């Protein structure tokens, strides 16, 4: 029987292959096996990342519940800490906001949030994290002033490029 051949070491690989080949029955069977039999402290973070990658809300929710319950143990390991540091902000926020988060000390959570934010500062921003200016609240005069500054900057940059071209031509 194939179920006896699947374990926590190869389930992710088999799941990814079944996903690529669109084997829906196998995917469902693997999903059930993961959430009911294979999910453990050592692999919950990996299964959670796979669930995010493959957009599997059933496995993601089960893993998130598991992680909520065992957050202290996960934070105590290097792999667990690295996993949490590299979570997309949406999932990190979801974990931090969870009422079911079973953390021994709120200070631990606060320290980890600070560590997460410091780590994120060193990474390039994702498009959804970019700050977007809301210009709708500006007056017409402020909008015109911004537009003038932008145009002046473009004119200045054009002049500088023209000067650089002229200098290069004169050297030749």
Q: 85-123: per-residue pLDDT in tens? A: 888 888 899 988 898 989 888 888 899 899 999 988 877
> Does residue 132 surpass a pLDDT of 70?
no
Q: 150-167: per-residue pLDDT in tens? A: 899 888 989 988 888 888
- Give the number of other CB atoms < 10 A from CB of residue 53: 13
Question: Is pTM, for the whole model, over 0.75?
Answer: no
Nearest to 112 by CA among 120, 160, 148, 20: 120
* 65 band by pLDDT with thresholds 50, 70 and 90: very high
* 51 band by pLDDT with thresholds 50, 70 and 90: very high
Question: Per-residue DSSP letters for 34-89?
Answer: IIIII--TTTHHHHHHHHHHTT-HHHHHHHHHHHHHTHHHHHTSHHHHHHHHTS-H
* 39 band by pLDDT with thresholds 50, 70 and 90: very high
> Does residue 1 surpass a pLDDT of 60?
no
pLDDT mean over 21-41: 91
């Amino acid at each position: 029987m194939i179920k006896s051949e699947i374990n926590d070491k190869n389930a992710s690989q088999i799941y990814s292959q079944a996903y690529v080949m669109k084997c829906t029955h196998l995917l469902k069977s693997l999903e059930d096996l993961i959430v009911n039999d294979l999910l453990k402290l050592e692999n919950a973070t990996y299964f959670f990342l796979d669930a995010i990658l493959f957009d599997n809300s059933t496995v993601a929710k089960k893993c998130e519940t598991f992680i909520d319950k065992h957050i202290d143990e996960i934070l105590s390991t290097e792999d667990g800490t690295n996993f949490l540091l590299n979570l997309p902000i949406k999932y990190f926020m979801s974990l931090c906001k969870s009422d079911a988060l079973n953390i021994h000390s709120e200070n631990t959570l606060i320290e980890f949030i600070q560590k997460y934010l410091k780590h994120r500062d060193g990474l390039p921003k994702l498009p959804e994290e970019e700050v977007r200016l809301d210009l709708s609240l500006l007056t017409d005069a402020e909008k015109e002033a911004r537009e003038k500054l932008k145009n002046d900057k473009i004119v200045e940059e054009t002049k500088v490029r023209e000067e650089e071209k002229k200098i290069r031509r004169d050297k030749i």
